Structure 1
Amino acid sequence: MTHVLVVGGGNAGFCAAHAAAARGRRVVLLEKGSPAEAGGNSFYTAGAFRIAHEGLPDVLEFVDPDERHPTTDLPPYPASSFAEDLARVTGGRNDPELSRVLTTGSGPAIRWLHSLGLRFRLMYERQAYRGSDGRHTFWGGLAVGSTGGGQGLMEQHTRAALDAGIEIRYGVRATGLVTADGRVTGVRTSSGSVVEAESVVLAAGGFEADPAWRREHLGPGWERALVRGTPLNTGDMLRAALDIGAARGGDWSTCHSVAWDAGAAPTGDRELTNRLTRQSYPLGIVVNLDGRRFLDEGADFRNYTYARYGAEILAQPRGIAFQVFDAAIRPLLRTEEYDSPGATVVTAPTVTALAEGMGVDARTLHRTIAAFNAAIDESIPFDPTVKDGRASRTDPPKSNWALPIRTAPFSAFPVTCGITFTFGGLRADTHGRVLDTAGSPMPGLFVCGEMLGGLFSGNYPGGSGLTAGAVFGRRAGELA
């Protein structure tokens, strides 16, 4: 008989499977997708893991060698700073006990994965700027990523699982939970079969790929959002758990959503994956179809704003906005995103021509840019590695990194809302044991990954999702 049945083949599910197999348990992992569809949202990520650490020497113990290491500045990021960032960006709506386990367990979780053969690296191209002195400075509390991004992460997880004797069954859609004598004893599949197990770990993602559920829980208009990851996360196992009395956890009314190429497909692209995001917006301005700015592009480091700005874009006319840059700013943009194959962009020699290509009123766009430029305090040096206070005191303000839009040619990248994952899930204790509506653990049922509610609300610190999957997947697998 199967000892531990894991439902969902993303990062969290594999972490649960690894931990259970290390205890000598017979583990079966059910993946809804075929091998060509597998990996959940984890496959589509850049592979960033936010972890607490003591600085560069600490991190060098488990990241791949790189010739840039000797010229790298990576300040310590203690668990207390991680906790402060998590509480700040969620407005204090994060569960304190789950958050404590996440932040203190982040570093050990990465070292554990490394011990299983998974590889990590410093994410220079995403999280560091190279100064005039030749040194690379990391910013925003995020530095470590999986080697090969999300695709590499899932390849390495799969290899480690097969080496450990974990059985992976592809193309199996779990639709219900089976109980006996008050205990979860297996899952029911779409084919009508039942897979029995002593314990079930749910790691099947949220409901972001279900337009009806998005509209019901996130609000009108969310059915129009593009899904930046897997089309398979339709909330099947959330429904199944709620049907047998599991309690809801976390914030079901908000989600992780980003600025996403407006020309992208309705669901994720397995070749381009994360390269369809547009995350250099703190360097330029963002305008809507009326030609007006509507948010503070420099409110904080991109790591702390990008997961909520998708919702801001969705609220604009037709759910569309444009990131606008001039020729002086253009070389600073992330190459893997803004120069990726098929990137949608309007380029023009004048603001008037740019507005025409955007479908925006030229006079309004001229006024927006002129007001923005005139309000910049250009006496303050530009420094992308810190919140430099170089502001444009206009309405809305841009609090940091305000660079004028004045040098031709000009570029406008159309973006819309790309939903990543939903923040609402199941309520659980710090070991991943699912709780019922009375607050008691449900025997035989565990949860991890995006199905675990309570960590995030309204926003989240970049890189926290994969880390949470690793920390709580490991804890569930150690107990299941």
Structure 2
Amino acid sequence: MTETKISDLLIVGCGVAGLSAAVTALQAGLSVTLLERADAENFGGNSRWTEAYMRMKNDAEIADDFEEHFAENAGWNIDHNVLDALGRSYEDWPANVRAHSLPDPEVISTFAGQVPETLDWLKGLGLSFGPQPIYLLTQNTSRIAAMGGGLGIITRLMEEAQALGAEVLYRTTATDLLRGPDGTVCGVQANGPEGTVRDIPAKAVVLASGGYQGNPEMMTRYIGPKARHIRPVAPGGYYNRGEGIRMALDHGAAPAGEFGSYHAEPVDPRSRQPEAVVFIYPYGILVNRDGRRFADEAPGTVDAHYDNIGRSFADQPDGIAWVIFDAQVEDIPRWKTAIRSDVPPVEAASIEALAAAIGLDPAALAGTVDDFNAACPGDDGGFDPFALDHRRAALTPPKSHWSRPIVKAPFRAYPIISSNCFTFGGLKTDPSARVIDVDGKIVPGLYAAGETQGIYHRVYTGSTSVLRGLVFGRQAGRHAAGLN
């Protein structure tokens, strides 16, 4: 069956990116159709579950390191000829550079520059932003958050979209792009609530359907066999199955971002809570199933390193690690805020008893703890849980900060797995969120925003993913309406 109504803009996905595009376009007078895989009670994918932290000093200024962090993590072993080309005007970039997977400086500059205006727009819709408590005990950048979190954002944007006349098709999944005789994207093929396939035409399409963390086939294809150990951090991630990325790649879109990586968080696998994070490990040690340490637990502030450390859990036997710590943790004010699991730690009166309780070899764990204790610096009173204290345990691997012998009962342990907030791989876009093909040309009529847009490599620039969706969703809506 073929639809006869032709919307000005068809948007795939109802998270912060899709809804920002929708409301922006509707305010400009365009007609909009939204597709959402979930039902009305569960729309929004990851956006529904995030607290929407933002890398900002306040609601009008981004953090000082915003663009710098992206530049430092633009990719691996980048060709110097590519970097040289980036110094020219955008119009003079070779095709291979336009289609390169690294984040364009123009895209990041636009991102940074548009954040304050985007938050002003949201404040005009009644949303507010400001400092909020965070579970990270140490930070190397500044953050604010949306009051009401991601759920508050998408609820308000959906209300506005529907008030302005958007059509919302729930339980509907886009499966392919429709293209006209000249190659312009002119709608999507979709699978509806009854399992029937239909064409939904539109003058342009925004892909804002998330990443592929909910698709085990794509996770294994891009991240490898260890993907079997990795699960989404929150229920919304299971709706992100990668169709938006796949269909665009099938039509010649350029890939961008690091497809073999993802934003990881350390999560207690016993908990049913969304984002049941355990960030207490900088004050203890991490061991694997064999009772051996495998990482520097504290190379710096936890916000700067938990991404890499969290990914390393998936490389361990059975994809699991344990954080081992002792009663000295009670010396750390607010230490329980670093743990969001609703399941208490395993406790025991000795390291050997703790090992037996969590299924590790008692002799192996005791030996690891003894080696760590012997390598810790003496008790000089310099332990400072909220600043880099340089109390280094000199062993392999080292522990760079916050090293104290684990000696005071009760001894405690949490299991931790690598949990996937979102995948890094996505589609290459220009600053207006227009999708670029493998030859460096614009794919006419096609936009991408949010997790579907690829910009992250190496280490996630923390607290920017919600901002990315908001800014580039809005950029897509504005461009479709002829405003940028």
Partner of 1:67: none
Question: Which amino acid in structure 2 is aligned with residue 202 of structure 1?
Answer: L
> CA, structure 1 residues 155+289, in 2 after alignment: closer, same or farther (shift >3 Å)?
same
Distance 1:145 1:307 in 2: 20
Partner of 1:253: 260
| Contact 1:258–1:308, Cα closer than 8 Å, also in 2 | no
Distance 2:47 2:238 in 1: 13
Distance 1:291 1:26 in 2: 59
Structure 1 vs Structure 2 CA RMSD: 2.3
> CA, structure 1 residues 121+162, in 2 after alignment: closer, same or farther (shift >3 Å)?
farther
What SS does structure 2 have at the residue aligned with 1:20?
helix
Runs of 4+ in 1 over 4 A off after TM superposition: 76-79, 89-94, 330-334
Q: CA deviation at 1:337?
A: 6.2
> CA, structure 1 residues 337+159, in 2 after alignment: closer, same or farther (shift >3 Å)?
farther
2:20 to 3, 10, 15: 15
User: Which protein has the larger Cα radius of gyration, Structure 1 or Structure 2?
Assistant: 2
Q: CA deviation at 1:429?
A: 0.9
Question: How is 1:126-137 mapped onto 2 (pairs within 5 angstroms)?
Answer: 126-127=135-136
Partner of 1:86: 70
| Contact 1:121–1:146, Cα closer than 8 Å, also in 2 | yes
Partner of 1:345: 345
What SS does structure 2 have at the residue aligned with 1:289?
coil
| Contact 2:22–2:161, Cα closer than 8 Å, also in 1 | yes
- Answering whether residue 201 of structure 2 is matched by residue 217 of structure 1, we say no
Partner of 2:244: 237
Distance 1:458 1:475 in 2: 25
Distance 2:230 2:31 in 1: 40
1:342-375 alpha-carbon deviations (Å, 9 max, x no partner): x263111221111111111222222222332332
| Contact 2:292–2:364, Cα closer than 8 Å, also in 1 | yes
Q: CA deviation at 1:77?
A: 6.1
Q: CA deviation at 1:448?
A: 0.6
- Answering whether residue 13 of structure 2 is matched by residue 5 of structure 1, we say no
Q: CA deviation at 1:89?
A: 4.8
What SS does structure 2 have at the residue aligned with 1:305?
helix
Question: Which amino acid in structure 2 is aligned with residue 407 of structure 1?
Answer: K
Distance 1:433 1:24 in 2: 20
Partner of 1:376: 376
Partner of 2:439: 438
Question: Which amino acid in structure 2 is aligned with residue 83 of structure 1?
Answer: E
Partner of 2:91: none
Moved more, 359-368 or 159-168: 159-168
1:70-96 alpha-carbon deviations (Å, 9 max, x no partner): xxxxxx8644x2222233355677523
Question: How is 1:385-400 mapped onto 2 (pairs within 5 angstroms)?
Answer: 385-400=386-401
Partner of 1:226: 231
1:414-437 alpha-carbon deviations (Å, 9 max, x no partner): 011212211111111111100112
> CA, structure 1 residues 452+84, in 2 after alignment: closer, same or farther (shift >3 Å)?
same
| Contact 2:135–2:339, Cα closer than 8 Å, also in 1 | no
Return the TM-score normalized by structure 1: 0.85
Question: How is 1:181-330 mapped onto 2 (pairs within 5 angstroms)?
Answer: 181=181, 182-190=183-191, 191-229=196-234, 230-264=237-271, 272-274=273-275, 276-329=276-329
Moved more, 467-476 or 396-405: 396-405
Distance 2:297 2:167 in 1: 46
What SS does structure 2 have at the residue aligned with 1:329?
helix
Q: How many residue pairs were aligned? A: 441
Question: How is 1:17-96 mapped onto 2 (pairs within 5 angstroms)?
Answer: 17-51=22-56, 53=57, 59=58, 78-79=63-64, 81-89=65-73, 94-95=102-103, 96=105
Moved more, 94-103 or 41-50: 94-103
Q: CA deviation at 1:339?
A: 5.6
| Contact 1:45–1:273, Cα closer than 8 Å, also in 2 | no
| Contact 2:63–2:143, Cα closer than 8 Å, also in 1 | no
Partner of 1:134: none
Return the TM-score normalized by structure 2: 0.85
What SS does structure 2 have at the residue aligned with 1:386?
coil
| Contact 1:257–1:417, Cα closer than 8 Å, also in 2 | yes
Question: Which amino acid in structure 1 is aligned with residue 199 of structure 2?
Answer: V
| Contact 1:90–1:459, Cα closer than 8 Å, also in 2 | no
Q: CA deviation at 1:186?
A: 0.7
Q: CA deviation at 1:283?
A: 2.4
> CA, structure 1 residues 125+432, in 2 after alignment: closer, same or farther (shift >3 Å)?
closer
Distance 2:17 2:233 in 1: 18
> CA, structure 1 residues 106+395, in 2 after alignment: closer, same or farther (shift >3 Å)?
farther
- Answering whether residue 104 of structure 2 is matched by residue 99 of structure 1, we say no
Question: How is 1:419-434 mapped onto 2 (pairs within 5 angstroms)?
Answer: 419-434=420-435
Distance 1:8 1:120 in 2: 24
Distance 1:183 1:335 in 2: 54
| Contact 2:16–2:150, Cα closer than 8 Å, also in 1 | no
Distance 1:162 1:384 in 2: 48
Distance 1:13 1:405 in 2: 49
- Structure 2 unmatched runs, 5+: 1-5, 79-101
| Contact 1:43–1:273, Cα closer than 8 Å, also in 2 | no
| Contact 2:136–2:303, Cα closer than 8 Å, also in 1 | no
Partner of 1:71: none
Question: How is 1:469-480 mapped onto 2 (pairs within 5 angstroms)?
Answer: 469-480=469-480
Partner of 1:66: none
Q: CA deviation at 1:336?
A: 5.6
Moved more, 327-336 or 151-160: 327-336
> CA, structure 1 residues 273+152, in 2 after alignment: closer, same or farther (shift >3 Å)?
farther
> CA, structure 1 residues 143+153, in 2 after alignment: closer, same or farther (shift >3 Å)?
same
| Contact 2:327–2:410, Cα closer than 8 Å, also in 1 | yes
Partner of 1:69: none
Partner of 1:448: 449
